[in-house]
Amino acid sequence: RDFTYIDDVVEGIVRVLDRPAQPDAAFDPARPDPAASSAPYRLYNIGNGQPVDLITYIRTLEAALGRSARLDLQPMQPGDVPDTWADCTPLQRDTGYKPSTPVSEGITRFVAWYRAYYGV
C-alpha cells in the first residue's frame, strides 16, 4: 500500500487550488472520449508513490507506540490488490510538488499528535 502523511495530502490540495482546470478544447461531443470532457476537471493522485509492506507499517507503528500489535495474518483475500501506489507524475508536473514524508516520520508525528490531542 501507499501510505501518505496527511500534511502531504493537504499540501497537494493547496497547490492545486490555484490552478483551476480548463475545459478540453479538443473534446468532440460527436465522438466522446470517456477520458476527456468539455467540462473543466482534473484528477490527481496524492501519495508517496512508493509501496510499503503492511507488516513494515505495523512494525513502525508498534515502535512509535511502544506496544506490540495482536496480529491475525490472513492470506490475500479475493479482490485484494498485491501492490498499489500513487502515480503522482501529473501532480508534480503541474505543481512542482511531490509528497515526500517517509512513513516512519509520518507515523511518529501522527502518534505524537494523537497522544497530545487525546491526552494519552
Q: Return per-residue pLDDT of the chain as tens, 120 residues.
A: 889 999 999 999 999 998 888 888 889 999 998 888 888 888 999 999 889 999 999 999 999 999 999 999 999 999 998 888 999 999 999 999 999 999 999 999 999 999 999 999
Its domain, for residue 97, covers 1-17+37-69+80-115
Specify the pLDDT at position 88: 95
Residue 106 lies in a domain: yes
Closest to 60 measured CA to CA, from 24, 6, 110? 110
What is the number of domains present in the chain?
1
Give the whole-angstrom CA distance, residue 25 versus residue 23.
Answer: 6
In a domain, 29, yes or no: no
CA distance readout (Å), 116 to 10, 29, 58: 21, 54, 21
User: pTM for this structure?
Assistant: 0.82
Residue 83: CB atoms within 10 A of its CB come to: 8
Cα distances (angstroms) measured from residue 65 to each of 28, 55, 61, 114: 55, 15, 6, 11
120 inside domain? no
